[in-house]
Structure formats: structure tokens, C-alpha cells
Structure 1
């Protein structure tokens, strides 16, 4: 399936790479189909990936693995909320956080409060709002991302 994207041009996407968000995502409820794209050189693992809408080519949200920026991240989600995603376990659960990169890059942040949860087996996802008061909507991560780059020898 050929998909047009704003940032990656036209890509050929296998059907097994399509993730469905039955309720859409916050602010974009009408768009249900997404994929995850990686902007990385061959052989290198990217810290940042993109949740790319297949229904709106201009909609691509930068996302990160929460454990890169907050090692003890442990979202508690009620089973009832996860039920539509299918049987979830540690092997098939993908958790991603939306990333905001403002003009002042030192104010880069992730949203710990509303992660994307994806069942890699069923390829169904949901964005949930966590009850945990310790998780911030704007968790600043510039220093952590800079350190990750340094550890990889990229700076």
C-alpha cells in the first residue's frame, strides 16, 4: 500500500504495519489508522520515531519510548480500558509518549500523562489519560536526550 506523508514522502507500507486507534487520538479523533516510522540511518536505532496518520498525510507526531526518558515509568491502566486492544502482556505491549519540540529546544518535553498504548499482536492502540498525579503533561527531557546522544557518540 502506497502512503503519502508530509515528512517522509511516499512510502510503501505493508498491511501488517497498520495500527488502528478505534477512538482516534486526542485532538484527532477522526483519524484512526497509523503506522510508526523511524527516521534513522541504516543500522542505527532512532530515539525518536513518528506516529504517522494514514488518513491525513500532514499528521505525524514525534514519539519516544518512555523508558529512554523516565526509567521508572509505570503507567497504571484499568483492564477495562485495555480490553478493546486484545490480550496484553509484557511481550506485545508498546508504550509511546508524544514529544513536543518547541523553537527553544531546551524546552523539549514528553507527555507522561497521556501515553499511547499499542498491542503489537492485534495492532490496535489507544491513547489513555493516566490517573497518576505524579505524571506530568510537560516532562522536560532535553538533558536526558542530550545525554543519550552523547552515550551513542553522536555529539
Structure 2
């Protein structure tokens, strides 16, 4: 599949890289086809992009929640991820959306609505975590700065 995107320009996505969200994502139920991309020009793979194949202008920054919250381990019922089953533990990829405002010090991730991808079947779902320990706006700027400093040592 070929498309022209806002962030990555003209790209070609191979069929085996397409991720299907049968129920869409929160706020965008009609967007069901995505590809997981990373910016080769950036020196960090911490932030990747879920690029919509339904609307090439739409791409959402995402990251592994363990990168900023090492104890992230919410309970999710099988009922919520029914479309992804069967799924082996090693095939589960969990991502959270990143909000990057103009003031980078206010950067957050949404721990309340993680995205779970079955990397074997390439089927995904965004779920809502019913746990107050996981906020919608979890600040990450200071944590990312510490990670950057430690990597530089």
C-alpha cells in the first residue's frame, strides 16, 4: 500500500506490516488500519508513530509505557481483548499515546487508554483501564530528561 503522509512523506507499507483495529481507536472509530513507524532521523526509538492508513494525515505518537513507568501493569480482562485472542505473552505489544504540547515540559502519556497489539496476528485494540493509578495525563518530561542524561554517561 502506498500513501503520502504528513510526517513521513511518501511511504509504502507492506501488507504484513498493517495493524488492524477492528473497533477503531478512541475518538476515531472509523480508522481501523495502521502501521507502526519510527522516525529514522531521530536518535531515540522511545517515541514511535501509529500512522493511519485510512487517513494519511493522521499519525499518533506512541511509546512503550515501561519506558516511563517501569511498574506499569494494569489488569485487563480477556473480555476486553477478545478480538486479539489467542495471544502468547511474547506476542503482546503494549503502547500508550503521547501528547506533545508546544511546551515540551508538559509532555504526557495516556496510561488510562493503552493500545494492545497482538504482534503475531497484527490485530489491536485500545482499552480503558479502570484503575485510578493510571491517569490520562501522566507527565513524562522529567523522566525522559533523566533517561537522556543516564544514556549520555
| Normalised TM-score (structure 2) | 0.94
Kindly report which structure 2 residues correspond to 1:129-148, keeping only aligned pairs within 5 A, or say none: 129-148=128-147
CA distance in 2, matches of 1:122, 1:101: 30
How much does 1:54 deviate?
0.2
Q: State the match for 1:21 in structure 2.
A: 21
Kindly report which structure 2 residues correspond to 1:115-154, keeping only aligned pairs within 5 A, or say none: 115-153=114-152
CA distance in 1, matches of 2:122, 2:68: 24
Provide, for residues 70-113 of structure 1, a one-character-per-residue CA deviation record: whole Å limited to 9, x for no partner.
Answer: 00000211111112112122200000000001111111000000
- Please state whether the residue corresponding to 1:47 is helix, strand or coil: coil
Q: State the match for 1:92 in structure 2.
A: 91
CA distance in 2, matches of 1:46, 1:150: 16
- Contact residue 66 and residue 95 of structure 1 kept, 8 A: yes
User: Unaligned 5+ residue runs, structure 2?
Assistant: none
> 1:134/1:125 Cα in 2 relative to 1: closer, same or farther (>3 Å)?
same
Q: State the match for 1:35 in structure 2.
A: 35
- RMSD of aligned Cα (Å): 1.6
CA distance in 2, matches of 1:13, 1:152: 32
Provide, for residues 13-51 of structure 1, a one-character-per-residue CA deviation record: whole Å limited to 9, x for no partner.
Answer: 111100000110011111100010001349x55110001
Query: How many residues were matched structurally?
Result: 153
Q: State the match for 2:74 in structure 1.
A: 75
CA distance in 2, matches of 1:112, 1:45: 21
- Please state whether the residue corresponding to 1:70 is helix, strand or coil: coil
Provide, for residues 55-82 of structure 1, a one-character-per-residue CA deviation record: whole Å limited to 9, x for no partner.
Answer: 1011100001000000000021111111
Segments of 4+ moved more than 3 angstroms: none
- Contact residue 86 and residue 122 of structure 1 kept, 8 A: no
